[in-house]
C-alpha cells in the first residue's frame, strides 16, 4: 500500500490553475523527488500535501487515511512533516531550543505548564540525540540567526525529524547553498534514507543531485505531471527532454 497517494488533485488560485489532475503514488521507504521548471507547481503540491492550503479538488491519502480536510498541525501528528523553501526556524532561539520545541511536541507535552527534572532530562537527551544525527552537536548553544545559511537549513531538517515523520518532506533542501553545504545536505538526506529507512519526498532544482540520489521521480510542468518513474525511465522520456532541453525535435 502506498504511504502517500494523490488522485486527480487540482488547485486553482482565481483563474490560475496551479495544479491540474495530479496523480502521485509513493511507497514507504522511497527517496522520491519532484522536479520541474520554475512555476511548475512543485511548492503548490507540497502546500496541498502538508495542509498549508486545501486542494480545490481530488483526493489526498496518507498512510491509509483521507487527509483532505485534516488541519496542517494534525497532519504533522499523523507523520507528515515538512520544511520550507525559505528556511522557517525560530530565529532568536538557540539550536538546542529550536529542536526542543519539536521534541516537546512529539512528547505531547507542549501544553504542560510546569517543569519537571525527569521530563526535562528525557527531552534534553532526545534533543542531543537528534543533534548528533544531523551533526549539529557543536552548534547546540548558538543562536540560529547567527548560523551560516547551510546550518540553518540543517536545523530545520532536524526540527522536522524531531516529530519522527513517517514522511519527511523537504522543499528544495539545498536552495541557496554553496557546494560544500550542498554536499553535506545530500549526505544527510542519503544517510537518513539508507540508515534510518526514512521515507523522503523532496523538491529539487539541481538535476545532477536528483538523478544521483532519488529512486523515484515525478516531473511537473505547467501544473501537470509530465512523467513519473525511476531516474532512468524519466531521463529517457521524450516529453521530459523536450521540456528541459527545449523543443529541439
Partner 1 sequence: MNRRLIVNGAVWLVLLTAAIWLPLLGGYMALASRVLIYALGAMALNLLLGFTGCMSFGQAAYFGLGGYGAGLFLTHLGSSSVLAIVAGTLLGGVVATAFGPLIMRRRGIYFAMITVAISQIFYFIAERWNDFTGGEDGLSGFSRQPLHLGFATVPLDSVAFYYFVLFFFAVGAGVIAMLLHSPLGHTFIAIRENRRRAQFLGIHVERYVWASFAIAGFIAGLAGALNALQNNFISPANLYWVESGNFVIMAVLGGMRNFWGPLVGAIIFIGIQDYVSSYFPNNWQSFIGVLFVIAVIFFPTGILGILRQRVKVA
Nearest to 174 by CA among 208, 220, 129: 208
- Does 140 engage in binding with partner 1 (CB under 8 A)? no
Nearer to partner 1, 39 or 91 (CB): 91
- Does 148 engage in binding with partner 1 (CB under 8 A)? no
Residue pair 140/96 in contact by the 8 Å Cβ criterion: yes
- Which of 22, 49, 136, 159 is in the footprint of partner 1 by CB under 8 A? 159
| Residues 70, 22: Cα–Cα separation, whole Å | 19
Nearest to 185 by CA among 213, 144, 164, 165: 213
Q: Is 22 exposed, middle or buried (0-12, 13-18, 19+ CB in 10 A)?
A: buried
> Pattern of binders to partner 1 over 86-115, x per CB under 8 A?
--xxxxxx---x--xxx-xxx--xxxxxxx
Alpha-helical regions (H) of 107-198: 117-133, 149-162, 179-195
Nearer to partner 1, 73 or 248 (CB): 73
How far does Cα 195 stand from its chain's mean position? 18
Residue 71 Cβ, how far from partner 1 at the closest point, in Å?
8
Nearer to partner 1, 91 or 212 (CB): 91
Q: How many chain residues touch partner 1 (CB under 8 A)? A: 37
- Does 131 engage in binding with partner 1 (CB under 8 A)? no
- Does 81 engage in binding with partner 1 (CB under 8 A)? yes
- Which of 134, 139, 162, 228 is in the footprint of partner 1 by CB under 8 A? 162
Amino acid at each position: 500500500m502506498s504511504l502517500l497517494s494523490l488522485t486527480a488533485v487540482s488547485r486553482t488560485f482565481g483563474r490560475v490553475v496551479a495544479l491540474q489532475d495530479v496523480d502521485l503514488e509513493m511507497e514507504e521507504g522511497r527517496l522520491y523527488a519532484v522536479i520541474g521548471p520554475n512555476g511548475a507547481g512543485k511548492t503548490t503540491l507540497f502546500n496541498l500535501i502538508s495542509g498549508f492550503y486545501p486542494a480545490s479538488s481530488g483526493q489526498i491519502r496518507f498512510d491509509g487515511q483521507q487527509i483532505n480536510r485534516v488541519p496542517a498541525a494534525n497532519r504533522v501528528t499523523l507523520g507528515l512533516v515538512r520544511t520550507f523553501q525559505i528556511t522557517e526556524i525560530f530565529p532568536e532561539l538557540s539550536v538546542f531550543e529550536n529542536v526542543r520545541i519539536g521534541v516537546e511536541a512529539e512528547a505531547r507535552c507542549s501544553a504542560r505548564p510546569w517543569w519537571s527534572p525527569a521530563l526535562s532530562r528525557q527531552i534534553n537527551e532526545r534533543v542531543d540525540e537528534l543533534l548528533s544525527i544531523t551533526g549539529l552537536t557543536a552548534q547546540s548553544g548558538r543562536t540560529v540567526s547567527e548560523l551560516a545559511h547551510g546550518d540553518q537549513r540543517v536545523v530545520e531538517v532536524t526540527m522536522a525529524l524531531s516529530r519522527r515523520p513517517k514522511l519527511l518532506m523537504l522543499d528544495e533542501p539545498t536552495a541557496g547553498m554553496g557546494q560544500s553545504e550542498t554536499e553535506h545536505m545530500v549526505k544527510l538526506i542519503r544517510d537518513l534514507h539508507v540508515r534510518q529507512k526514512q521515507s523522503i519526498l523532496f523538491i529539487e532544482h539541481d538535476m545532477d543531485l536528483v538523478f544521483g540520489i532519488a529512486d523515484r521521480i515525478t516531473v511537473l510542468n505547467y501544473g501537470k505531471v509530465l512523467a513519473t518513474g525511476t531516474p532512468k525511465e524519466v531521463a529517457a522520456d521524450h516529453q521530459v527532454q523536450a521540456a528541459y532541453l527545449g523543443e529541439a525535435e
